[in-house]
Structure 1
Amino acid sequence: MLYAVVDIETTGSFAAANGITEIAIVIHDGEKVLNFYESLVNPHVPIPYFIERLTGIDNNMVANAPSFEEIAGQVYELLQDKIFVAHNVNFDYSFVKYHLDAAGYEIDEKKLCTVRLARKVIPGLNGYSLGKLTQQLGIHHGARHRAGGDALATADLLAMIVARDTNGAIAAALKGNTAESYIPPHLPVEQIAQLPGTPGVYYFYNAEGKVIYVGKAINLRKRVKSHFSNNKVNRQKQDFLRETARISYKQCATELMAHILESTEIRRLWPIHNRSQRGYLPQFGLFSYEDRNGFMRLAIEKNRQAAKPLYTFNTAVEGQMRLRELISEFNLCNRLCNISPDCECSMHADADEYNARVEEAMEWMRKLLPTFAYIDKGIEENEHSCILIMEGNFVGMGYLSDKKQQMETLEILKSHLEPLQDNDFIRNLVYKHATANPDKCVEFAGAHVLSAVESVK
């Protein structure tokens, strides 16, 4: 078995918009070096200053170097029929494959990551970066952060791993290459293997323990694996692979509960790699306040943290339509509802009488908003899951071991649920499921159950 141990220096962190400035390839048989290739490369884009400082490679050094296209044929021949090896292999492989593809050469070689192999074969070390490994294992590491020096050090590390691999870690890695080779090098495979095949929410952490991504799943193990099923060369994918160091999860009884938990956790943690739902917050609300003349006013305004709206809307137009409906139904004043600046009506001659109509309108709106519990299967066989909506607002969710007793009143039910933050996205999800599955809904009138608890499966 022959290995091609590769190291590259680049102008940036992802292949789709960055070039290679230097490449080194060590052909190795697992015991010794058979061939060594090294070349500077002209990326035809400026090298950022911080990369110049890290690698020592500047624009003058690569000005007369060949482009990658000029050396692509030689690189391709060196890699053919070899195991592609690198320290954090996904990074080097993504760049080399991308630029070979651009030059008209296609590779599809098996890969080995010396970070992951070192963790398995030489456990218990204080860090697995190339610098820390060479220092701890006594491997010569000259010309650090240059392709040649790093590739030769990685080749020596590979020889040490091969010599110590008594449990077949290399063979196992090659056998499961299509799945495991894309997993981030610092993420233990065992954490993925231990994930259950049930609904839930999963969390990706960086090396500092900060959550960088939250996702939901019908099948936790399958969904998490899908994140690492390819080696895309865009910035988001490569940053994600590089940063992920740990996974945790919370199991849920149903996909709906997982969807709700994901939404609340994204808004609680705001992970850097979550793009969805960032803009899914109601922009406008129906607010009430008393003016200096003692009249209750209604207005559609942008949502603000300092006050809670009576109702929320995604657009101002939607809010204005609902407010005009209240004006017509309860004979409210256009001016006092901020619909028009002028009004000659006599609807507001007496503040107390007018305010009573406003209160009646608000009470009517509150009655339109439902209070119900959405009951479904639990995680365990002898329990039920419960999602609670009160006056149109999402309150929380949890699990009930004695459905009849724990749902006797709203207050008792609430005490058994985990309170979670309300938002339009969650409400719409619950309403959608409630409409599709009315048999799973238990309605409340005031504080007491209106529909039969026993009938809900």
Structure 2
Amino acid sequence: MYAIVDIETTGGHANANGITEIAICIHDGHEVVKRYETLVNPGVDIPVYIQALTGITNEMVSTAPPFKQVAHEVFSLLQGNIFVAHNVNFDHSFVKYHLNLAGFDLQCNKLCTVRLSRKILPGMNSYSLGKLCHQIGISNSARHRAAGDAEATAELFTLLLNSDVHNHITDALKQRSKEQVLPPNLNRRFIDQLPPTPGVYYFHDNKGKVVYVGKAVNIKKRVASHFAGNNSGAQRQEFMRHIHQISFQECGTELMALLTEAVEIKRLWPKFNRSQKQLDFNFGLYTYEDQRGYLRLVVDKRRKYSSPVHTCSSLITGRALLAKLIEAYELCPKLCMIQTNTDACTSVNSLQCACTGHESTELYNQKIQKSIEGLKEALPTFAIRDEGRKDDEHSCILIEEGRLYGMGYISHYMEANNLAQLKNHLTPYPSNDHMRNMVISHAEQYPWKKVELAS
């Protein structure tokens, strides 16, 4: 038996909204044999725009039972039957959530008439309930009311049952089928084409725009995990509605996938990626010559098109590094803007310091240059050579002077000990502390993958 369900609600996600009306048509595989409908008091005001859409007002539901009063009857109609709805994940998430609040644990198979219609009735201009029903001649005099939409869905489902010559419905109900949990606008073929390899995957909206980028050790398994469970939160419901296509990029290793994900999030700025968007070099060490001819080495916020001698993620990190350089090369803390008060200079040579003019510009500027050279020499230059996407290639990630230069794939037989030659085979990428630290940490954990290079 099938339970064809339609609900009206106060909003788009279950955990912060209520049900205002529910209708259930029990279908025996041939026709509707039982009908149930009721208004429901959601316990909150119905937004004005939803009142205008559905025609259900606060006055209409003021005397209606709350969902807890009808939960037992709703549960008895649904449990043991197949839950059918147009965009089933929406209706099912609401009903399951509110049944759970009332003490009932709904466990049943689901069928989505949106997904089934795309398979059984291909080529339609639209698969929204109203437009689809209009195209195939199903009338609905109570659009956006639970009973009217449930009856229209039941009539559509009867047509789908009678037209399913390729057993799409049977396939969707198989125990291990993923059809029930896929987003309504996502064709199964996008899942079938995914490889079980490391890489990066992209979720696209109806216009092809990338709305999410993810990385995985196993692309196929990770993508499937996005659609598991019954999270009724607003973020997930909105996320699922936007997924129309999936593309992917295979990578040789998990580390390559992690770095590629970071690069792609910065490049594409996807709507649903929250993390990593702000991970960047926000500060830098800069040099400039003051009016007296002294070179200054200071920490400042990084600006577009500027060329710092070193980059860092925060002001604190930059000032800590600069303090070490001041101590190691006997620089002036006042000229480096570390000491900003009017007290005497705290330099080890305070009486002969550059800030008082006692140290010559030539001598002091030489110390600044040596500190910059020492900083660069201390930054590592090396490559990570690891597995490739195919047997005859290796993945290669290059760190040059402490920054990610780029990555790519090289021949299995290529020697990777020449920096200039190696750079010709790699694609340069913008770097940040997060990416650099991932590579350096990986090199420390797996030292046999590290290839030392002379900068």
**Structures share a fold, TM > 0.5?**
yes
Instruction: Name the CA distance, whole Å, in 1 between partners of 2:412 and 2:314.
Output: 42
Instruction: Name the CA distance, whole Å, in 1 between partners of 2:275 and 2:107.
Output: 33
SS in 1 for 2:335: coil
* Structure 1 residue aligned with 2:377: 367
Partner amino acid for 2:210?
Answer: V
Residue deviations 1:179-220, cap 9 Å, x none? 331110110111111101100000111222221211100011
Instruction: Name the CA distance, whole Å, in 2 between partners of 1:99 and 1:178.
Output: 26
Asked if residue 183 in structure 1 is aligned to residue 189 in structure 2, the reply is: no
Report the Cα offset of residue 378 of structure 1: 1.1
Residue deviations 1:321-366, cap 9 Å, x none? 2212211221211111101134354332322321121011001000
Asked if residue 136 in structure 1 is aligned to residue 142 in structure 2, the reply is: no
Report the Cα offset of residue 297 of structure 1: 0.9
* Structure 1 residue aligned with 2:255: 256
Residue deviations 1:372-427, cap 9 Å, x none? 1111111111111111111111011111126536x464333222212211011110
Are the counterparts in 1 of residues 120 and 168 from structure 2 also a CA contact under 8 Å?
Answer: yes
Percent identical pairs in the alignment equals 51
Are the counterparts in 2 of residues 23 and 147 from structure 1 also a CA contact under 8 Å?
Answer: yes
SS in 2 for 1:141: coil
SS in 1 for 2:270: coil
Residues 376-455 of structure 1 mapped to structure 2, 5 A cutoff: 376-401=386-411, 403-404=413-414, 407=416, 409-446=418-455
Instruction: Name the CA distance, whole Å, in 2 between partners of 1:319 and 1:214.
Output: 31
Higher mean displacement: 384-393 or 284-293: 284-293
Instruction: Name the CA distance, whole Å, in 1 between partners of 2:267 and 2:401.
Output: 23
Unaligned runs of 5+ in 1: 447-457
Instruction: Name the CA distance, whole Å, in 1 between partners of 2:57 and 2:362.
Output: 79
* Structure 2 residue aligned with 1:148: 147
Instruction: Name the CA distance, whole Å, in 1 between partners of 2:307 and 2:161.
Output: 64
Are the counterparts in 2 of residues 201 and 261 from structure 1 also a CA contact under 8 Å?
Answer: yes
Residue deviations 1:233-285, cap 9 Å, x none? 11122111222111100000000000000111112222222222234334433
Residue deviations 1:79-138, cap 9 Å, x none? 132111000101000000111111112210111000111111111222211122112111
Unaligned runs of 5+ in 2: none
Are the counterparts in 2 of residues 231 and 237 from structure 1 also a CA contact under 8 Å?
Answer: no
Instruction: Name the CA distance, whole Å, in 1 between partners of 2:338 and 2:273.
Output: 39
Instruction: Name the CA distance, whole Å, in 2 between partners of 1:393 and 1:314.
Output: 13
* Structure 2 residue aligned with 1:455: none
Instruction: Name the CA distance, whole Å, in 2 between partners of 1:137 and 1:356.
Output: 83
SS in 2 for 1:181: helix
* Structure 2 residue aligned with 1:213: 212
Which TM-score applies when normalising by structure 1? 0.93
SS in 2 for 1:45: coil
Are the counterparts in 1 of residues 205 and 211 from structure 2 also a CA contact under 8 Å?
Answer: yes
Are the counterparts in 2 of residues 111 and 177 from structure 1 also a CA contact under 8 Å?
Answer: no
Instruction: Name the CA distance, whole Å, in 1 between partners of 2:252 and 2:34.
Output: 56
* Structure 2 residue aligned with 1:452: none
Partner amino acid for 2:131?
Answer: K
Are the counterparts in 1 of residues 202 and 247 from structure 2 also a CA contact under 8 Å?
Answer: yes
Instruction: Name the CA distance, whole Å, in 2 between partners of 1:90 and 1:131.
Output: 18
Partner amino acid for 2:353?
Answer: M
* Structure 2 residue aligned with 1:304: 303
Which TM-score applies when normalising by structure 2? 0.93
* Structure 1 residue aligned with 2:48: 49
* Structure 2 residue aligned with 1:27: 26
Instruction: Name the CA distance, whole Å, in 1 between partners of 2:454 and 2:408.
Output: 21
Instruction: Name the CA distance, whole Å, in 1 between partners of 2:219 and 2:242.
Output: 20
Say what the alpha-carbon RMSD is for the aligned residues: 1.8
Asked if residue 85 in structure 1 is aligned to residue 94 in structure 2, the reply is: no
Higher mean displacement: 293-302 or 101-110: 293-302
Residues 166-205 of structure 1 mapped to structure 2, 5 A cutoff: 166-176=165-175, 179-205=178-204
Instruction: Name the CA distance, whole Å, in 2 between partners of 1:70 and 1:177.
Output: 35
Are the counterparts in 1 of residues 280 and 433 from structure 2 also a CA contact under 8 Å?
Answer: yes
* Structure 2 residue aligned with 1:244: 243
Instruction: Name the CA distance, whole Å, in 2 between partners of 1:57 and 1:292.
Output: 75
Partner amino acid for 1:365?
Answer: L
Partner amino acid for 1:336?
Answer: L
